[in-house]
Structure 1
Amino acid sequence: MSEYTGKTAVLRDLSFPYRFTQPTEASGECLFLLHGSGVDETTLVPLAKQIAPDAALVAARGRIPQEDGFRWFERITPTSFEQASIRTETDAFATFVAEATKRHGLDLSRATFLGYSNGANLVSSLMLLHSGLVRRAALLRAMPVLAETPPTDLVGTKVLMIAGAADLTYGPFAPALVTLLSQRGATVDARIIASGHEIGDSDATIVRQWLADPSAVA
């Protein structure tokens, strides 16, 4: 397993604050990390290192303040969201992906977008609003958030969705997102695990095994 070196400070000169880390023996793979609500960009890094220890990590921070942390777009209730905010922040993040990819010499065809909760919802919006940008995504505890979706072509996009059997907030909505992405042509691997809304080692194991499967590569 490679040791991570290089930049760990928050970088603020792109459209989203972020941290970039790269192992000494990089594999060429990359993970874009999108955290959940009320925390920051550091929270998914330990999980990502379990999943892909030799991948570069782009750990971004949502721009909407929430409590002592951040989120990716405004919410109205825990399961309804401000539509203009979703689209504004999704468009801005698409620009950020292009900028960060160029700056760090990343191969976007070898990138996986790993999102949790509100971060997973931003990734799903990114797929639906910016076709072709995301080719591989792992969505942990996600639900559909867009009131209207364009007829996006997601053929060739690989998606892993992991829902928690005891997640009473997002869990009931997860099948609708599986259906939506599948209808748009994505190949979706949907799992349900014995968990609530929280994530942990079981998620890391499933994502790691999924990425190791050649069929997960777009």
Structure 2
Amino acid sequence: MTLDSYIHKVVPGTPGGPLLFVFHGTGGDENQLAALGRELSAEATIVAPRGDVAEFGAARFFRRTGEGVYDMDDLARASAKMAAFVKAHVAAARPSAVLGLGYSNGANILAATLFSAPTLFDGAVLMHPLIPFEPHIAGSLAGKRVLITAGRRDPICPPVLTSRLEAWLEASGAEVALEWHDGGHELRPNEIAAARRFLCASIEKGKQP
């Protein structure tokens, strides 16, 4: 069943309320961001899948052949599988809003799923994404809200690629906000605060008739 196509954790929220999917970074698991998801939204049901690829024992959502070099065939497989997983949970929960938050590798699978299924998420938080390829976005992102957070000295995700991703998303119609900090690949308080504001606004928008 696609509901269980990933090992995952569910933290219940308000019935009929928003669903917040959280996607861990390389080496994380379904527990890495579940508590953060609950901290960011008291009412959302949190769904936290574990990546199904192992890289020297570290869980990831898709394969790569080197640092910043993706196995594009496996990325396509992974984004299709994740879209089906999300759709199954949405069909079962009938939520007021469908939101995603990912960090590092989790931000990359969230972005790839957004590219392949633009209508799936109402809002997405991409924390330190690295998209080193020009995406093919299968439709329009008009009306979709995206927050990107990044470090100006991130050795893994160069700022120029972050800005390029912002431009691509805006060109596809998304409403994009970008939150920087002066550090590297680590999460800092200002981006956590920005994610909280973003998710709160997205949830309130979902309640509107």
Q: TM-score, normalised by structure 2?
A: 0.88
CA contact (8 A) 1:141 1:171 kept: no
User: Which amino acid in structure 1 is aligned with residue 175 of structure 2?
Assistant: T
1:26, distance to aligned residue in structure 2 (A): 5.5
Residue 7 of structure 2 aligns with an amino acid whose one-letter code is P
Residue 121 of structure 1 corresponds to 108
User: Do the aligned residues in 2 keep the contact of 1:27 with 1:54 (CA within 8 Å)?
Assistant: no
For residues 161-176 of structure 1, the aligned pairs below 5 Å read 161-172=148-159, 173-176=161-164
Matched, 1:97 2:83: no
* Structure 1 residue 175: Cα displacement: 0.9
Q: Does 1:149 align with 2:136?
A: yes
- 8 A Cα contact 2:19 2:90, kept in partner: no
Q: CA deviation at 1:177?
A: 0.8
Map 1:1-218 to 2 at 5 A. Answer: 14-23=4-13, 28-103=17-92, 105-107=93-95, 110-150=97-137, 152-172=139-159, 173-213=161-201, 217=205
With over 3 angstroms needed to count, the CA separation of the structure-2 counterparts of 1:203 and 1:26, relative to structure 1, is: farther
User: The residue matched to 1:213 in structure 2 has which SS?
Assistant: helix
Rounded to whole Å, the distance in 1 between the matches of 2:163 and 2:151 is: 12
Over 3 Å off, 4+ runs:
145-148, 213-218
Distance 1:98 1:150, change over 3 A: closer
Residue-by-residue CA offset, 1:183-216 (whole Å, 9 max, x unaligned): 1111100111133111143322111112233698
Cα distance in 2, alignment partners of residues 152 and 17 from structure 1: 30
Q: What displacement does 1:69 show?
A: 3.1
1:165, CA displacement in angstroms? 1.8
Judging changes above 3 Å, is the alpha-carbon distance between structure 1 residues 26 and 178 closer, same or farther for their aligned structure 2 residues? same
Which residue identity does 1:189 align to in structure 2? A
The alpha-carbon distance between structure 1 residues 217 and 141, as it changes in their structure 2 partners (threshold 3 A), is farther
What CA distance in whole angstroms lies between the structure 1 residues aligned with 2:202 and 2:12?
A: 23
Q: Which amino acid aligns with 2:199?
A: L
Q: Distance in 1 between matches of 2:130 and 2:30?
A: 21
Q: Tell me, which stretches of 5 or more residues in structure 1 are unaligned? A: 1-10
Cα distance change of structure 1 residues 96 and 193 upon mapping to structure 2, 3 Å threshold: same
Take 1:18 and 1:154, find their aligned partners in 2: how far apart are those partners? 27
Identity %: 25
How far did residue 101 of structure 1 move? 2.0
Structure 2's unaligned 5+ residue stretches are: none
Looking at structure 2, the residues matched to 134 and 41 of structure 1 have their Cα atoms a distance apart, in angstroms, of 20
